[in-house]
Structure 1
Amino acid sequence: MLRLRSAVFRAVAPPSRVLACRFSAAPIPAPNTQPEVHYNKLFINNQWQDAESGKTFPTINPATGEVICQVAEADENDVNKAVKAASDAFRLGSPWRRMDASHRGLLLNRLADAIERDAAYLAELETLDNGKPYAVAYSVDLPNVVKCLRYYAGWADKWEGKTIPIDGDYFCYTRHEPVGVCGQIIPVGHLIQQASGSSNLKRVTLELGGKSPNIVLSDANMEDAVEQSHFALFFNQGQCCCAGSRTYVQADIYDEFVERSVERAKRRVVGDPFDMKTEQGPQVDQEQFNKILGYISSGKREGAKLMCGGGVAADRGYFIQPTVFGDVQDNMTIAREEIFGPVMQIFKFKTLEEVLTRANDSKYGLAAAVFTKDIDKANYVSSGLRAGTVWINCYDVFGAQAPFGGYKASGVGRELGQYGLENYTEVKTFSFVLLPQSLKMTVEEISI
């Protein structure tokens, strides 16, 4: 048993090394810090076009506050045009509808090929637009996009139905068919849910927010737990829906963990997202920047102990210092609400039963984690957590093959993996008589 525990729960490499081995070992190409923006219009019916109203809006470089370009601003008329184009493509007998499933998979793979070809340029645009460090965009985000497309390309001709042995002389089978035209809107999930529920019961899948508990037990490997917990919270400037934003640490290691976490936060490199050494770029926009600073003020006002950071990190742009709060209590605003920024909150607990009760006392249930060398404790805690994903001795481990989604107010449905396909298909049942009526009677007579 001791050998098994050692093998299964061996120390996990710090995130920097995890990322290095999880993706391509090829060197990251030097970025163009001023990539040309080729497309800023609406893409409807396979064409780039201006908004019907002619309206545009500025997209801002969060590292400088300067305007990158003007982007076409869609309204109801543009959405209706897009829906009509999609509906025409979905029409019975249309070329898209009649396309072989295997060819659909081929097209997805061609898209993946194009993304691989232009990965550096796409990473440059991502960094320019939202402040994500270029090295992360290139080595993490883009490879994940490619893997996801290739994964579903493989599913294109394999989403099979079933034959079902129902009672009687009938043949019954199912077929999975697409639900039809779908709209994908990334933010404002709650508003979508409300609008859909109040109209005509449209199907909705939602991946919403989180306030994910990250539980560190006293027997955890301290070095790895600190590094992984740092990564769990600060990755992507803290702008992750599944960020480990409630770090629960067992009492007998609490002081050492806090001290090490503060030291690590102070070493975090904040700056130009195009610099390869940068770990943390700016927040995505002015609104989020102000919101995070407001939460930091709330934490100080309500009695949490500010251990480091807490202020603005640059003269321009939306940079915030890596911030750590200790002595956080469950009733504080920073403990209840999603900050979505580089603000780590550390809580103290004594028993497993206590931490499970506190961890589950949230309207959210997107993700969670537990750090321990004891497989029995890991099983006990992970089974008791009300969350859609639980990581054990690691954090932010994703795969296109594995479903992702939340309990409670963290969402409806699942993305990725086979489960993700279920959101976009209807199951149709076919039943028909297996034997002619006359033959059926003959069989019945013989059986008597």
Structure 2
Amino acid sequence: MTEFICTTWPETWQKLWHEAGFSTPSLIQEKVYDPLKEGRSVIGVSPTGSGKTLAYLLPLLGKVNPGAGNQLLILTSSQELAMQVTEVARTWGQAIDLMVQPLIGGANTKRQVEKLKAKPEVLVGTPGRVLELIKAKKIKSQQINTLVLDEVDQLLKEGQLGLAAKINQTLTKQAQRCFFSATANEVINEIQPLLDTTPLIIDVTAEDQSKGEIHHYYLDYPQRRIVDALRRMAHLPDFQGLVFFNELSAMGNAEEKLLYHGLPVATLASDQNKLARRGALESFRQGKVRQLLTTDVAARGLDIHGLPYVINTDVPLDKESYLHRAGRVGRMGKEGTVVTIVQDHSLKELKKIAKQLDITLEEIYLHGRALHTEAPVVIPEPVKHVKSKSVQKTSVKTSENLHTPAKKIKKKQKNRKDKGKRRH
């Protein structure tokens, strides 16, 4: 591929490649380039942050004919990922006179239909909106000669599977199909029915060296005080973290409390409109927000340059969820930290996931405006010793005080009796 860059790429692409600071392609980019260029259907598997987007975009964009209408369709698992892929595709596509059109739910359908009249060569979208436009005959899917399912294992989960399969059925049998994800190898049985031929499986997970060092920790903290832990982390020097929740309700509650304390946080959730989601993500990327509270909607494919922390407020529901969340840090050689907040009952679940993923967990402690791998030393308060004599005196006095009234009463009663005897 390096030789290809030097000889046959357009000059505009060579310039973009070097301006981006790339020297050599990542392993997945190198391995899938020729098969994709040749039109083969490919399942590409590589670690998170290893450059999968460019791995499929560069060879596939190079095959697209300018001015020939819709040819390349890319489906993504979320609106955020669709917009991210759109930006990358536009950067490289516009350099060779290609138009790229995003088609996501939550956006104005009429505007999308108007832009489709310009016959963009590359379409990037979420399954629901793309299928809607195909049914309305606004997208001529018979013209699509290449389909990409980015984060394919997410797209083939219950709910998305039917949509993706229906879109696939509208394409010709000759169309090239491509499937990419860090965990695509786990859904090969689901992918096969979408194809009439046997796909080429390219899995570089074991060989890939692009991932930076990721430290995996757990923080033992009471469930009722999780917001307190987040508040304290927000004050750590140079802290910026993507904070994951398993439940939307817990995320909303945390946001309310953190904003009450005046902390710069935002949320990214599936029930927000497109503008709110885009604004939150942009503020986070610009460093205006120290914590972006989210669910697994942000665990797939999002590239936030140099992100130092991922915080799990709950143990993720499965190993795939943990893997993709953790994949937001340590991208393309960068270092990152994943902290999962646990209690006694959930630590066992986390250790099970760690064993499945073959990662090393270490306990971490939050004190003194820092995270420490060593437990804090608790210095007991000095005990004030009272002199024994004083104690005896006090106890004696107390004893005397307790018994004196009884003695006095008896004495008075005796005196009265004696006086009575004398009268008689």
Bigger relative contact order, structure 1 or 2 (CA pairs below 8 A, ≥6 apart):
1
Asked if Structure 1 and Structure 2 have the same fold, meaning a TM-score greater than 0.5 normalized by the shorter chain, the answer is no
Task: Report TM bin, short chain.
Answer: under 0.3
Question: TM-score by structure 1 length?
Answer: 0.26
Q: Which has the higher helix share?
A: 2
